[in-house]
Amino acid sequence: MFYSDIHIVVSKMNECAKQNIPFLFAFNFDLNEALFIEDPSDQTEILFQTTLGGNSRPAAALTKKIGNIEFHSEPFDDYKRRFNIVKHALQRGDSFLVNLTSRTPVSTNLSIKEIFDSTDAPYRLYVPERFVCFSPERFVFIQEDGTISTDPMKGTIDASLPNAEETILSNPKETAEHATVVDLLRNDISMNASNVHVARYRYITLIKGQEKSILQVSSEIKGQLSADWRSKVGDIILDMLPAGSISGAPKNSTVATIKKAEATERGFYTGVFGYYDGKSLDSGVLIRFIEQDADGNLYFRSGGGITAKSDVKSEYEEVKQKIYLPTMEPKFSEVICVRDGEPQHVGYHIQRMNRTTSHFFGLDIEVPDLSKKIPDNAKKGKYKCRIVYGKEIESIEFSPYEAKTRKSVAIVEDDAIDYTYKSTNRDDLKRLVAKAGTDDVIIIRNGMVTDASYCNVVFEDADGGLFTPEETLLNGTCRQRLLDNGIIKMRKIRREDIHLYSHIYFINAMMDINECQKMDVKDIQMVF
């Protein structure tokens, strides 16, 4: 999997690509360690995502409260000392662009696996107990027809600043630095490609973070590889390493300056990784990177380009700007029944929404008077009002309600599933339904009955008593109201207890106990 001789990985890449066999690869910055996994989707230890796919789920909103994430930035004087080493090299003419990086201690309640699961970026890589990367920057993309392209990023600014886009695009230092990197990458691609040209120059990308957003300046460079590019794809990638955007120019002398100024190996930080899907290859630069040391301590790695015109205070601030987690802000939904133009049981829904926003954001949410939002066509009959919200309400939609009839229901087990809050991300619930191959499922967690995939359940015994499982995934508003009114009671219901009941009801905000589907328990399928 990991190799100290990178040429072994180069050879494996060439051989697999020639045979159209998918693979995952990575090279560290110092080119003394590389990763290679054939058919990487068949394993789940190392997780990855690219624009061509991967073996992980798309980034999901965190299902736990994010505590204080603290970044203990390098003291300015320490950065200045390292900056001056680079500046002297630039003044001597050893380099005309140097990428200088920092190692920032991180304190957080998240593991690097949780960071991987929740970060939103085009290129993500997770190696257990070593590092996680959530990179916005492409290294190279090679299409099936041999078209090769790269999108170097150089130039960053806080998106919240007034006239941020105009400011970054008009900055002379940033303009010169970007032009240098574009020229360097154009030359790198030209080593193996023809018709190399700049397809797009200095376009802006908005990158959203947990607490802030930044604007990143990029360009797109394209060329054409020979028809036999697969048989030498490893060599093509190696020829371009280390990546120009995170080293500098000229490369050899610049790398020597970097090693002197940083005085520590970067490891896989600022290396590259990529995925070949059997037809095309996509790869990313390993930036926006958190590494884990042998003691479990976490460090955020970030950096920026230094030129002879660079100001130490400005560069120090840019490095700090790049320290962020692009986590997906949790999104939640609330479904409210509207009958003949009247929203039903709104108080229960607002109570649940406030419980959610209080937990995740430490605030209550403002819910408008829904009766004033109902369109004329939704004032007759039964309609569903769906509210999507995070820190604030994002959308309110009304649609006619059509009850779903379950023809098949299976019992499934999942001890790890968590749906305490009504998240818009229902991937785990959908996965269980897909696994069973039925219309719905009853979910068993740690031997206890919980809920169906989008309903709470109520069991009826031989005496007509109505009982809802004490162990619920999500406390529905209908369930809570029926409990408050004494119509149903809570009871611990184990998997082996199901057969003691005659019928099961599927209730939610849209289907009360007197109108929901009722199913004979004996019709429920076996455990999957």
Domains along the sequence of the chain with CATH: 2-321 (3.60.120.10), 332-400 (3.30.470.10), 409-527 (3.20.10.10)
Highest-pLDDT range among 87-101, 222-236, 348-362: 222-236
Q: What is the mean pLDDT of residues 3-15?
A: 98
Q: Tokens 């769906």 appear where? A: 386
**Helix (H, G, I), strand (E, B), or coil: what is residue 360?**
helix
Q: Which residues pair with 118 in a beta bridge?
A: none
For residue 66, pLDDT over 70 is answered with: no
Torsion, Cα of 165, 170, 173, 176 (10° steps): 100
Burial zone of 146 (CB within 10 Å; 0-12 exposed, 13-18 middle, 19+ buried) = middle
Model pLDDT for residues 179-211, shown as the tens digit of each residue? 888 998 999 999 999 999 999 999 988 876 655
What pLDDT was estimated at residue 118? Answer: 79
Query: CA-CA distance, 409 to 128, in Å (whole number)?
Result: 37
Q: Whole-number mean pLDDT of the chain?
A: 91
Q: 3-state DSSP call for residue 79?
A: helix
pLDDT digits (tens, 9 = 90+) for 342-396: 999 999 999 999 999 998 888 899 999 999 999 999 999 999 999 999 888 989 9
Strand partners, 97: 249
Whether the per-residue pLDDT at 59 is higher than 90: the answer is no
Q: Give pLDDT, residue 60.
A: 54
Is residue 250 reached through a cis peptide bond, with omega within 30 degrees of 0 on the bond before it?
A: yes
Residue 244 is predicted with a pLDDT of: 83
pLDDT value, residue 68: 53
Number of helices and strands (H, E) in the chain? 11, 32
Between residues 309 and 301, the one the model is more confident about: 301
Task: Kindly give the residue spans of alpha helices, DSSP state H, lying in 325-402.
Answer: 346-361
Q: Which of 64-68, 185-189, 333-337, 507-511 has the lowest mean pLDDT?
A: 64-68
Q: What are phi and psi of 313, to 5 degrees?
A: -65, -40
